[in-house]
Structure 1
Amino acid sequence: MTRIAVSGLLLLAAGLLTQCSPAATNASAENSAQHSAPVKIQLMTSLPIIWGEGASMQSILSGKTSPAPIYAHWQQNYDIAAVDSFEALEKSGTDIVLLAQPPAMAPADIAAVDAWVRTGGKAIILTDPMLLWPTHLPLGDQRRPLASGLLSPLLEHWGLELQAPDEAGSGGVELEFSGATISTAGIGTFKLSAQKSSDQSECVLSTANVMASCSVGKGRAIIFADADFLNDALWPDIEGGANKDGVGDAKGLIDILITDLRDGE
């Protein structure tokens, strides 16, 4: 398994990922508890994390489905709603938009997210150029997770280009932060675009170019070139650690990003 050390990140508040550990996750949760209302999140995703792989309306109504550990964690800690449109985003009172390998978005929805961020909204975007999420669903089934991120129009508007991993980087990957290790597969990278179409956006890349922080108008977006790390099948079992109990580094990382965006200027 390839290991990538992601150190000295410029994209987050000082020391953010040096605190990415179970202790920091607990501190983050305590900080969240000080707020009177949970963070309100609108999620758009093609990943089978809400009802499970191949869920049908019948199985949902009969209670035979269950959310993935990552989504169950979000339900417990945030006011999260899965959406298939951002038509009403502006008036929804949403704190953070979370795009986790979303399905092909309508141009109107891409424009809505862009406009919302520019007026002060905040977003976490997981866009994977080579998703390796296992699925038994046949090609053409709309329930299949999107194999490659389709957010190029939005990213290019903000000055980013998503790049697929080369052959050497298409297998298993461990992203090593200070105090945290994220297990994933086929992680992509970002490149700053020389021809961004907006002069009101500015992106800064992490080391290894796997994450970006973009100031867009009055808002901010944190963008990660991977989504496979949300798959609990990839989470390592840490003896005596939190992963076995469902609070793994993948969850902790998203928690920290949410807290950073919520508490940031």
Structure 2
Amino acid sequence: MLQRTRLGLAILAGVLLAQCSPAATNASTENSVPLKIQLMTSLPIIWGEGASMQSILSGRTSPAPIYAYWQQKYDIAAVDSFETLDGSGTDVIVLAQPPAMAPADIAAVDAWVRAGGKALILTDPMLLWHTHLPLGDKRRPLTSGLLSPLLEHWGLELQEPDEAGSGGVELDFAGATISTAGIGTLKLLPNEARDNDQCTLSVANVMASCVVGKGRAIILADADFLNHDLWPDATTSEDSDRPADARGLTDIFIDDLHNGL
């Protein structure tokens, strides 16, 4: 049975501030230069599941709807490393259930955010993304997020859903509704473990907004919602032409990170 959890904008201090301001909300679409985004992911959204170099070169592959939308909206590039992040002119980085990151990449992300960078992190402790790829295939998406070193450094712990929360879940945001499965939760670590970083948790502890040094990060304990097979039927929100699904929700997050205080 589908469970329903509502997240109010006022509950999560500092998150979705741009939603309150039409000028700020539309900034990324009105600017002549789209936001520059670096994406790291293990999800099969860039070329589709099981894509090979031959199929890519022959044009027999296509991106998932979420990535196709991002390509239209942003100057987005999928990366395997963040070694050139500093000085790249990137506006926002997106970690969407990324593969195991090298310590140098984790350090680069932390340093970049502390210097004023913005990060959207989608890390799922129980990914339920269906795949035909066999166990051991490096192209399989990670079944559990591996960002604990970074999250703990920022004062957060990613937790698996309990039995009651391991099924279908629907989350309501202002302007977007996502359907997902097996959503995790985030836990604040004791003050002495937070390195002076400040994180605020949402209702049900599924999301956090963090001030990290001079920068900010939004962390959602889920990545399944990017799978278009789970998207609800609604196509646009009531108060704008923004898609009212995962596409619109990631827009809200990215707008807030780029324009928010």
2:60 aligns with 64
Equivalences for residues 190-205 of structure 1 within 5 A = 190-194=186-190, 197-205=193-201
1:47 to 43, 50, 58: 43
2:84 aligns with 88
TM-score w.r.t. the length of structure 2 is 0.91
Divergent runs of 4+, >4 A? 13-19
Q: Distance in 2 between matches of 1:182 and 1:196?
A: 35
2:31 to 21, 28, 35: 35
Answering whether residue 223 of structure 2 is matched by residue 227 of structure 1, we say yes
Task: For residue 11 of structure 2, give the secondary structure of its aligned residue in structure 1.
Answer: coil
Answering whether residue 160 of structure 2 is matched by residue 158 of structure 1, we say no
1:12 aligns with 14
Q: What is the Cα-based RMSD across aligned positions, in Å?
A: 2.2
Q: Is the 8 A contact 2:15 2:256 kept in 1?
A: yes
Q: Distance in 2 between matches of 1:246 and 1:64?
A: 29
Q: Deviations over 1:200-238 (max 9, x none)?
A: 311000111110001000000000000000000001123
Q: Is the 8 A contact 2:19 2:256 kept in 1?
A: no
Against the structure 1 CA distance between its residues 34 and 114, is the aligned structure 2 distance closer, same or farther, given a 3 Å change threshold?
Answer: same
Q: Distance in 1 between matches of 2:236 and 2:15?
A: 25
Q: Match of 1:3, as an amino acid?
A: R
Against the structure 1 CA distance between its residues 246 and 199, is the aligned structure 2 distance closer, same or farther, given a 3 Å change threshold?
Answer: closer
Task: For residue 49 of structure 1, give the secondary structure of its aligned residue in structure 2.
Answer: coil
Q: Is the 8 A contact 2:18 2:255 kept in 1?
A: no
Q: Distance in 2 between matches of 1:16 and 1:52?
A: 32
Report sequence identity in percent: 71
Against the structure 1 CA distance between its residues 253 and 110, is the aligned structure 2 distance closer, same or farther, given a 3 Å change threshold?
Answer: same
TM-score w.r.t. the length of structure 1 is 0.90
Shift of 1:198: 4.4
Q: For structure 1, list consecutive stretches of 5 or more residues without a partner in the other structure.
A: none
Shift of 1:75: 0.3
Task: For residue 91 of structure 1, give the secondary structure of its aligned residue in structure 2.
Answer: coil
